[in-house]
Structure 1
Amino acid sequence: MEKALERKRICSAVFLDISQAFDRVWYKGLLHKLRSILPYQFFLLLKSYLTDRKFRIRQEDVCSKLKDICVGVPQGSVLGPVLYLLYINDIPETYNTSIATFADDTALLAVGNTLEESKGRLQQAVNNVATWTKKWRIKLNESKSTYINFTNKRIDNVPISINGLPRDLGVEMVTDMVAKHANSHKGRLEQHINEEASRLLMSRFTFRRLKRSKPFELSTTPHN
């Protein structure tokens, strides 16, 4: 985005909101993806972890029958967010656009010499992602998704207005990229970015080690 503005180009962005992201992960789809990226032994462990999960509702002394859990990563678990990231790891990329994802936040960005060019590229990227979400049973919340243009261009010496202030990762985007007071927040923003980047690197390092580990024999313990 910064490079686009330096070159006096326009950057269009869409911040997608995914409805109940962690609760709607499709088990069969997730297992299909895990099978293709993990050693078979680790895949079996995760498959055992995810399958045959059940729940029931209790009200005072009355309990419902057990029901199967068919969607969603385990809430409150360490693996939950990692499994979700693996589930959306193959989100389609479109030529001349960029994708930025973190947890259930997804942003699509496109750059062009004109507003029409950047919007056209962005629309193609949105269409591709929408098709992908339908295939993998991911629900987009259109009403909470936001579109915005970043530019320092002018029309007849009048700045192009930008409507809406989207929030990404809980941070309100500043549409005036040359605001005088922006530098006062730079240090805190950089610290936040560095902290989140470190967490991502740790998760990535962990799965690299898992993928490179030597196969091992799985043991099973019978239960009565």
Structure 2
Amino acid sequence: MAFQPILDIVTQRPFAFEALVRGSNGESAATVLSSVTSENRYAFDQQCRVAAIEGAVAAGILETDAKLSINFLPNAVYSPLACIQLTLKTARATKFPTERLIFEFTENEEMTDTEHVKTIIESYTKMGFGTAIDDFGAGHAGLGLLAKFQTDYIKLDMELIRGIEQSMPRRMIVEGVVRIARSLGITVIAEGVETTAEYTVLKELGIRYIQGYLLARPGFMSLPASSFFDDRNTRAA
């Protein structure tokens, strides 16, 4: 696993670290995911959860108060209660507090069984986990999905973020999503932030949690620090 921080621009500290799958020699997520099939999807999903928790603990996440965000495959969860047992066992073994876990999902293909996903979300919420819709605003992860169930977080897709300082439509869309999310009690995270101009607009729109190369690149088997706020504070001084 590689880990990328989601930074809180108010406290200027990591709010969470997202676990990103990598090959044992650092191969990209796309390379690893290309080998996932319907036959091995469940085992892969389970192994990713274990690797994320064990890797984050080994990297020092217990020395922080940051959450750990793990991507999961809804189609790999045949029963929320049964499929979470290995995750719980791993958390106990590593002494990682389960209330600091966030499970985020995204679907490149349209979900035909949204009731199943809703059941997973509701079950995870009852267990005390955070939940998130990743890549919100891309593909089928949009307002229609949000109308069917609400997660604790939505992560704005980078296509909505890219060049937002030069695009009034993007700005208005993000502003609208932030307003809707706030009304629903959902926290917005902006991902894929790469420029100071993008960051500035997102801050103006009231987004508190930011993730992207501007702040820190993923660290392979490590929790990367960010010098972004230090640099800005130094310039301001």
TM-score above 0.5, yes or no: no
TM-score by length of 2: 0.30
Greater fraction of residues in helix: 2
TM-score by length of 1: 0.32
- Structure with more contact order per residue of length (Cα contacts < 8 Å, sep ≥ 6): 1
